[in-house]
Every structure is written in C-alpha cells, then in structure tokens.
Amino acid sequence: MVNILVVEDDRNLQKLMKAVLRQQGYNVLSANDGGEALEIIDKSHVDLVISDIMMPNMNGFDLTEALRKSNYNLPILMITAKETLEDKRKGFLVGTDDYMVKPIDMDEMGFRVAALLRRSRIANEARLSIGEIELNYDTLTVKSKEESVLLPKKEFYLLFKLLSYPKQIFTRQQIMDEIWGMDVDTDERTVDVHIKRLREKFSHFEEFEIITVRGLGYKVEIKI
C-alpha cells in the first residue's frame, strides 16, 4: 500500500485530507510540522509528502530542503496560502514537485497525488514504453525497431513528460516550471521551439503525435 505523509498544522484540514486520501485507498501518516515529518520519514517508508508551507518550528521549505539534501527523492506536493511567484521560485529551488493553493479542492488533490506517484514510478524505472518505442531516461535515447535517437536533455525531458501523461494538456508555463525551473533566460517561446524540434525528429513515428491545443498548450495522442 502507498504511504502518504500529510504535514499540516491546521488540525481540521489535516483531518479532512487524511479522510479523503484514505477513501482513495492510501495509507496516511500525519505530522504537525517539518520536524515531526522528518522523524516519521526516518522511521517509516513514505512514498509521497503533502506539506503546508507556513508551519511552526520547521516550515515546508525547510522540510523539503532537508529531504533533498538527505537524498530523499520522493514526490513532494507543497500547499501554499497564496500563489506568488516568489513562493513558487523558492519551492522549486529547494526541490518541490508540485503546488496547490488554499482553499484546497480535494478532488484536485487526489488527481495531483495520483499523477505525482505515477511520475515517480516512471522516473524510478527510468524507462517508458509506447508500443515498440522505448524512452531511456538514463541515456536520453528514444529507440524503435529501426533506429535509436539521442536527444538533448531538455528535449528528452519534454517528450518524456508528454508521453508519461497521454491526452493530458500541459500549458507552456507548466512545462517551463518543470523542465526549465527558474531559469530566467527562457520564455514560453522556448517551449514552442523544442516542440517544433521534436515534431521534426519524430514525425515519421506512427505511435504518437504531439498536438497543439489552441490557447492552452500541448498534449500527446497515442495512436496505437
């Protein structure tokens, strides 16, 4: 069973999150601040952390930074009271994987948790297969029966992300946040350029197609 740790000092919200996650089939642990969370993670296996930012003793930023410095690669979903660029920048710099803004939509939380766990499994396996095509995360290669294509790192990460979640629409900003992080030298046109390059390299592949969703972003359609 998947173990999720909820780190939240608001007892009512913590109780609600635990109840919803348990209904979805997860085993849920809880902590009131980052210090308690570290003690739990030290003693128990945890697959994913949901952490508030503002907490006494140790906040969510410090918890995330401590986990990453200790080489814990588990997914972290950070909860913030208001969505500011500075919060996002700091969160991504210390190593969070995703954000939600209070008040939390519990259905959306469930979707995000499932997506983060799915992404984590794929990254841990380091391979993704679509029909006869295999993406190898370690070698940055896309292999079919006929050929092997070595991609630049950003192009590979972008293709890997899209193929990991077929039919899911990703905005340019979402892609930039995850693939480029807080690199100030990039803008949304960079995403378009990388998409164009991927289309040129894989236009002859029959297994998938990168689709532009006008006004929103991009998605992949699996054609097998």
pTM for the complete prediction?
Answer: 0.61
What contacts 111, CB < 8 A, 6 or more positions away?
none
Domains and CATH numbers, the chain: 3-121 (3.40.50.2300), 126-222 (1.10.10.10)
Q: What is the pairing mode between strands 48-52 and 3-7?
A: parallel
pLDDT digits (tens), the chain, 224 positions: 789 999 999 999 999 999 999 999 999 999 999 999 999 998 888 999 999 999 999 999 999 999 999 888 899 999 988 777 788 788 888 889 898 988 999 999 998 998 888 778 766 667 788 888 999 988 999 999 889 999 999 999 899 989 988 888 888 888 887 787 655 566 778 999 999 999 999 999 989 999 999 988 999 999 87
